[in-house]
A and B are shown apart, each in its own frame.
Chain A
Amino acid sequence: MAEEMRLHIELQTAEFRETGMTADEAEMKARREFGHMDGIRERCRDESGILWVSQLGQDLRYAWRMLARSPGFTLAAVLTLALGIGVNTAIFSLVDEILLRPLHVTDPGDLVLFHWSSKVDLPVPTSGRWERDPVTQQTTCTSFSLPAFEAIRRRNQALSGITAFAPISRLTVVADGQAEVVGLGQLVSGSYFSVMGIAPAAGRLLEATDDGPGAPGVAMVSYGYWMRRFGGDPSTIGKAILVNRVPITIVGVVPRRFPGSLQVGDAPDLFLPLVLARGMGAFEMIDKPDALWWVQIIGRLRAGMSPLQALSELGPAFQQSALESLKLAGAPPPKSPDDQPTLKAGPGGQGLNELRNEYRQRWEILTGLGIAILAIACANLASLLLARGAARQREMGVRLAMGAGRGRIVRQLLTESILLAGLGGALAVPFAVWVEVGLVAMQPRVEGHTLSLVPQLDPGVFLTAATISVLTGVIFGLVPAVRASRINISAEFQGGTSNRAGSRSGLGKSLLVVQVALTLMLLVGAGLFAGTLRNLASVDVGFDSRGLLLFHLNPNPDGSSFMAGLAVDNEVAARLRAVPGVASATFSRMPLLSDMGWNTRISVVGRPLRDDGHDTTMVNFVAGNFFSTYGIPIIAGRAVDMADGARGGSVAVVNQAFVREFFGGEDPLGRILQRPDAGNMPALVTVVGVARDASYSAVRDPAPPTIYFPYYSQASAKLEATFAVRASGDPRMLVPLIRETVHSVNPLLPLDDLRTQQSQISELSATERMFAWLSGVFSVLAVGLVSLGLYGLMSYSVFGRQGEIGLRIALGARPTQVVWMIVRECMLVVGIGVGLGLIGAYAATRVVSSLLFGLSATDPGIFAAGGVLLLLVAVFAGWMPALRAARVNPMVALRAD
């Protein structure tokens, strides 16, 4: 185009020269007549739609230059976008994965998970989770007995397949001469994989023939385990290993995206046939395995069948089997049909659900945090853009005067906003990955294995968050453009910056108010969680938790030789006590404060059995030196020790809460207790000692009634033991010594889960810590953003009000008065925001009140502190602009107006 116009001028010049002008005159006249080239060029560009591609390129280059020219703004805007989009993508992707996404199997919608419910607790031993609805008093449980499964399977017509499965934890695996503990495995019946409808990643699936009695032991490994332990070696298929001392051949690898059908986040590393359960020591009672309710049942509906149809078919078979179980357990039959357990079915597409429901609250809070961050980010971005747009009004005016089309200007600003959005979105992706990995890492461990999630970024979530942010950027980027296209050019050039600041910053002020409100809510949240953590840490747990190292041993995982296993435990404890640096060592069945528990019903001989739910006590089996190692004082009688076995008769130590609950404060020494349920603990016990109260499985609750049996008196064959070692010096020095000691007793005995007692206790508050950390970080960021926003707003306000300020000073206002005027405006904005924020926080903190400890969700101290902090921020942010206002030279200001 430039060429074209140059030619035109040349030809015109030539023409003029023919009329007799000089060369210079001719050229000048030609140029003058032509008019303003740039303006004409712009309009030509406007007219020709074909050139829009090159226009876009031009716009992008120009946008890039403009953004580079104000690096502070660009950096702030891009970071804000990355923060808002990234955090939300991470949170919502995780929520989707944990709460919403079904298993990666064929048609997960056709799967049904069975459970039963009854008005009374079934007096049969159950493992797994059960829930009681406080409203309807119905107990729901997903665990069934093997005979019940058989009964259902025999009757089944409505389902194309039905399968049973159960978790099995802490498997000792010996492969290639190396022993290790695998945290979680899954026992599955023969039809499991055909019901799930998946194909193996390598090798073959477990089939019905693998699940028969006498079938050779086989197993599938998870993809992760295949990679970790065997390096993805294809020769793993067909490899012979030992699992809990049972010879097993690995026949296949489960696909990567299929983590079994257990609780959310549980990803078993081994899949074994159900028939091996007993040989592996999967349950405590080996004398009456049919009486234990321990498997979960999933089925796949045939096409066109509904769960109700399946229930009507299978329900009666189940009930019959349940009644037989009751007879087997020696329990009386239910009095009314209402008390009978009823078969129910729910969607099975996500596997087991109970943990998911527990997680739900946690993730709802996280979702709330994410939305708050997105709102703050969008508000901040908007105010950044508005401030920038306001500062560029003059530039807009000039460009309009030079002939730029209004449409062109709007398009250019739009391109800037989109470029900004693109940069922010690109940065958001790695940020989101980082946040998601961090969030998963912050989740607490459950029973020794961590939450196994493959952090995935859901593209749909990313797009949604990105779209919201981009829309914000576009809308608020366009506001100055729209304003610019309506400005009166001459008015702009005549100055008149006064009277503009007031109305212009109305929008900016409201955005800041919103930001301040949200920031206050985050601050309050952070304060509440920090306070909770502090309160939790200061609870007296009843024993000395410092300097204690814990680890887990399973000397006879297959339940074969009780005495041999016990001997191993004793040997390890004895050798540990001899290690220099060890003050004392002991072991017990249950670790303290690990979120695991074992309870049983008990009664005092001579007192009636209580029926009102107050007949339960927590249980532990402890070895010698238990009380001294943990630092639990015995306040009456004596502790149990290894000599008690030789003396015969069953003894136990109870704690003070037990005495209060079951003896009403009377002296319990010498009294006899009785256990009404059959099982693996002694039926009659004599109380020989009283220990001081110690927390059992939760720091938040007061110590429950607890009974301590001697370790060997458990009739169970499973000898899992948690060892506790008290260090006389630094516990960390003992770690290699402990490993050596265990290795010296049995090189093939893996030592599992070495940790300190204190880290185990802090695991319990992992959720609260996560929220404290997140809300703390977010509120710091939010305060920073708000400060910047206030600073910018006040600076612009001062700039706009220069005339007014100059007038006031000229009329005799003192500097302090001027400063106060500006600061007051700032505090007003923040004050309104704080007010709104207080109301919002009051409403919102109800949601987290169940997570708090030791303070209420409306703790006035924290609310007040948050408000005061923000008001201080207001003063601080407004200070510099206020000082500048005070230094305004009235002469200069008035002339500039």
Chain B
Amino acid sequence: MPKDKADLLQGTLDMLILRSLEAGPSHGFGVSGVIRRFSKDALQVEQGSLYPALYRLEAEGWIRSEWGISENNRKAKFYELTAAGRSQLRLETANWARMSSAINLVLGHA
């Protein structure tokens, strides 16, 4: 449960969540499902990380929440990307691209 594992990981998770909300609003379960499916089951987000991340993103103002009705007729909290969130997502995506190509270069030459 130590929280200070690489911030890199935390930032990446944020990015993935924002990306999965880009298509449209969803609740927490939906977000984890999207990530799982798109990664072809490679990435399974722990609920223990997902929900705190959602709350953090909301605190930062990148997503906002609203209560609505879910597919099985239950009350659910839906999260939606904000304008600030969109620009954050673009920023983080660009960062990730730069980072990963830099890493690839090193790995390629090692």
Chain A residues with CB under 8 Å of chain B are 1, 3-5, 7-8, 10-12, 14, 33-36, 39-40, 43-50, 403
Contact = CB atoms under 8 A, between A and B. Distances in A.
B29 A47 contact: no
Nearest to A11: B29
B75 interface: yes
B96 interface: no
Given A7-B70, A35-B47, A403 B1 contact: yes
Interface stretch (B48-56, B84-92, B97-105): B48-56
Nearest to B61: A50
A35 B27 contact: no
B59 A48 contact: yes
B72 interface: yes
22 contacts: A1-B51, A4-B51, A4-B77, A5-B51, A7-B74, A7-B76, A8-B28, A8-B47, A10-B72, A10-B74, A11-B29, A11-B71, A39-B1, A40-B52, A44-B52, A44-B54, A47-B53, A47-B59, A48-B55, A48-B58, A48-B59, A50-B59
A47 B47 contact: no
B46 interface: yes
Nearest to B44: A33
Nearest to B77: A4
Contacts of B28: 4, 7-8
A39 B48 contact: yes
Contacts of A48: 55-56, 58-59
Which interface class (under 10, 10 to 19, 20 to 34, 35 or more) fits B?
Answer: 20 to 34
B47 A40 contact: yes
Contacts of B48: 35-36, 39-40, 43
Contacts of B47: 5, 8, 33-35, 40
A14 B73 CA distance: 13
Given A4-B27, A11-B29, A49-B59, A44 B51 contact: yes
A43 B52 contact: yes
Given A35-B46, A44-B51, A48-B58, A3 B29 contact: no
Contacts of B77: 3-4
Interface string B22-61: 0000011100000000000000001110011111101100
Nearest to A35: B48
Contact of B29 (A7, A44, A50): A7
A727 to B, nearest CB: 84
Contacts of A4: 27-28, 51, 76-77
Contacts of B3: 43
A33 B46 CA distance: 8
Nearest to A34: B47
Contact of B52 (A33, A34, A46, A50): A46
A40 B51 contact: yes
A866 to B, nearest CB: 55
A36 B1 CA distance: 11
Contacts of B75: 3, 7
Contacts of B56: 47-48
A885 B54 CA distance: 54
Contacts of A3: 75-77
Nearest to B54: A44
A11 B72 contact: yes
Given A33-B47, A47-B59, A403-B1, A7 B52 contact: no
A49 B56 CA distance: 8
A1 to B, nearest CB: 8
A7 B59 CA distance: 22
Q: Give the most central of B46, B52, B75: most A CB within 10 Å.
A: B52
Given A10-B72, A403-B1, A47 B52 contact: yes
A44 B1 contact: no
A48 B56 CA distance: 5
Contacts of B70: 7, 11
A7 B27 contact: yes
A397 to B, nearest CB: 14
Contacts of A1: 51
**In the A-B complex, the 6 residue pairs with the closest CB atoms:** A47-B56, A48-B55, A47-B55, A43-B52, A35-B48, A44-B55
A34 B54 CA distance: 15
A198 to B, nearest CB: 58
B46 to A, nearest CB: 7
A43 B51 CA distance: 9
A50 B58 CA distance: 9
Q: Give the most central of B1, B59, B70, B74: most A CB within 10 Å.
A: B1
